[in-house]
Structure 1
Amino acid sequence: MVLEDLRVTSSYMKCYRAKEKAIVADLETEVDDDGDERFLYLFLAFGASIAGFKHLRRVLVIDGTHLGGKYKGVLLTASGQDANFQIFPLAFAVVDSEDTDAWMWFLQKVERILADSPTLAIISDCATSISNAVKCVYPLAQHGACIVHLARNVNSRYSSKHLAKMVTEAATAYRIRDYRDKFSKVRATNSACGVYLGKIGFGHWSRANFRGERYNIMTSNIAEQLNNALVEGRSSPIMELVIFIQRMMTRWFSARRKKAEKHRGVVSVEVDKEMTKNMATMKGSKFGSKERVMLAEKKCDCKYFDRIQITCGHAMIAADSLGLTYEPLVGHWYKTTTWRETYAGLISPEGDPKDVDVPEDVKEGCDAAVNLKAARSP
């Protein structure tokens, strides 16, 4: 794809970065045999997102979706989940395909704003290209599989929705003993499936065996929600897609900032609902066994409290017996104060270039890019 045909040039991107100082943007190109500069990759991240991500649980969901329109390509995304269980986009990239090279390039850019660490969890589908790139760029991070994609793969391989459901139940179990019980049923039903899951790695797809913390994020569904929100922009030329993303992020930050500021509870709206549901479970009390609760350590033998960091029914019973409120027991990632801090940054909507002070050396490059575009316009 020739850059000029895509309505994006190196000078144009330099100009864009100058006008939007709170943006990290990189453009990768190559020169073909005819001397034409051809597009390879484009990376985009907003400063407000980079700052806001520091207030989220350290789980990064990565995914890719195909672009429509005249020029085909793939949009790669890296996102987290905020205190209110909403998707929080960190970075975007437009690449030619979902191969290992593209994922490597994207993750190398992401690693510049989110460093590799044993405390980081990365969730994705089971694609080999993603796995190879994660191992290379994020060797310290814990890599987990999306269980929805895993279940689809199981159903496709063994033509059994029932087996896929059993695998999902084993994958989502909180306790090792529950996982073992459910996985033994999978192997008893289809031994080949048991071997297949073993080759993938039990720690890769099973919550009970996962070495890091993935909390409630067992799928890449939040990334698919982002892809759906971008449907309209995905058929546009690249710079129009960038502007579409910027406008979307501006709206999201503004609306969520207002919602968080308006909320008066100690924990976010959705976490409060989750706790209410757990309370209802407690009052219905169908617990068939007694579980040991350690409130000071925020642990319970059921492992829900440990892994999600939201009070389970057992912890609520224990807190009630001591006259304690539930909210202080919840992880700080879910607190309203954290929710507000996440959206404290600003993402400016696309403005009039005349209102922006652009350095002269950059302005000359911008003018050249605009003149080239005008000369090629019909």
Structure 2
Amino acid sequence: MVGFDGAFIKGQHLGQLLSVVGIDANNGMFPIAFAVVETESRDTWTWFLEIFFNDVGVRGPENGWVFITNKQKGLGQVIEALKPDAEHRHCVTHLHNNFKLAGHGSLALKHRLWAAARSTTLPWWEAEMDNIMEMSAPAHAWLQDRPAIHWSRSHFTTGPKCDILLNHLCECNFGGKR
């Protein structure tokens, strides 16, 4: 399990810090790589990930690699282009923030979204999505547009034994607060 993140560098020397943090079998987090770039873009993520994948030896899905991101600018497309068969998860905190920005900010909907994300079976996920539909058809439609394979445990592959839903691991190893 590897998390990717980008953060603003503030102060005299501006830029972006791109980082990669891993999780080991004991849920311990460790920094793997970082780079300072002028801007966070598809081009900078491509440059960074090509070097990372080559240096670390990410060859394909047979190695069991799982990536989690906050859906940064261009990052999803770069992962899809470079490693189309790898599992790519999205941070549920960031999904929820976008859910709120789309007008679905009630506490009840938040609880149902998180229940759907934490569900471990398809019937449980379907029941939570039915609950969301009963509460708000637009909220349900918004979530249906975001494939659950990226954000719900019920849709994650069973090979990797890490079921984290958050990508905060990058933030705590590379400077904490943004």
TM-score, normalising length: structure 1? 0.43
The separation in 2 between residues aligned to 1:180 and 1:206, in whole angstroms, is 11
The separation in 1 between residues aligned to 2:161 and 2:102, in whole angstroms, is 27
Tell me by how many angstroms 1:116 deviates: 3.5
Match 1:203 to one of 122, 138, 149: 149
Tell me by how many angstroms 1:74 deviates: 0.6
The residue number in structure 2 matching 1:167 is 113
1:218 partner letter: L
**Contact 1:74-1:94 at 8 Å conserved across structures:** yes
Match 1:223 to one of 157, 170, 177: 170
Tell me by how many angstroms 1:126 deviates: 2.6
Q: Which has the higher contact order (CA 8 A, sep 6+)?
A: 2
1:67/1:115 CA distance change after superposition, 3 Å: same
Tell me by how many angstroms 1:170 deviates: 0.2
Q: Runs of 5+ in structure 1 lacking a partner? A: 1-58, 235-378
The residue number in structure 2 matching 1:337 is none
**Contact 1:63-1:78 at 8 Å conserved across structures:** yes
The residue number in structure 2 matching 1:117 is 60
Tell me by how many angstroms 1:214 deviates: 5.9
Instruction: Provide the secondary structure at the position in 1 that maps to 2:2.
Output: strand
The residue number in structure 2 matching 1:99 is 41
The residue number in structure 1 matching 2:96 is 151
Tell me by how many angstroms 1:90 deviates: 1.1
1:176 partner letter: L
The residue number in structure 2 matching 1:131 is 76
Alignment of 1:264-303 (within 5 A): none
The separation in 1 between residues aligned to 2:117 and 2:161, in whole angstroms, is 12
2:153 partner letter: R
**Contact 1:116-1:141 at 8 Å conserved across structures:** no
**Contact 2:132-2:139 at 8 Å conserved across structures:** yes
The separation in 1 between residues aligned to 2:73 and 2:110, in whole angstroms, is 21
The residue number in structure 1 matching 2:131 is 185
The separation in 2 between residues aligned to 1:145 and 1:214, in whole angstroms, is 17
1:88 partner letter: F
2:12 pairs with 1:66: no
Tell me by how many angstroms 1:185 deviates: 0.8
Match 2:24 to one of 82, 85, 94: 82
* Structure showing the higher helix proportion among its residues: 1
The separation in 1 between residues aligned to 2:122 and 2:112, in whole angstroms, is 16
Matched-pair identity in %: 26
Give the RMSD, CA atoms, in angstroms.
Answer: 1.9
1:165/1:227 CA distance change after superposition, 3 Å: farther
TM-score, normalising length: structure 2? 0.88
Tell me by how many angstroms 1:128 deviates: 4.8
**Contact 1:151-1:165 at 8 Å conserved across structures:** no
**Contact 2:5-2:72 at 8 Å conserved across structures:** no
Q: Runs of 5+ in structure 2 lacking a partner? A: none
1:83/1:103 CA distance change after superposition, 3 Å: same
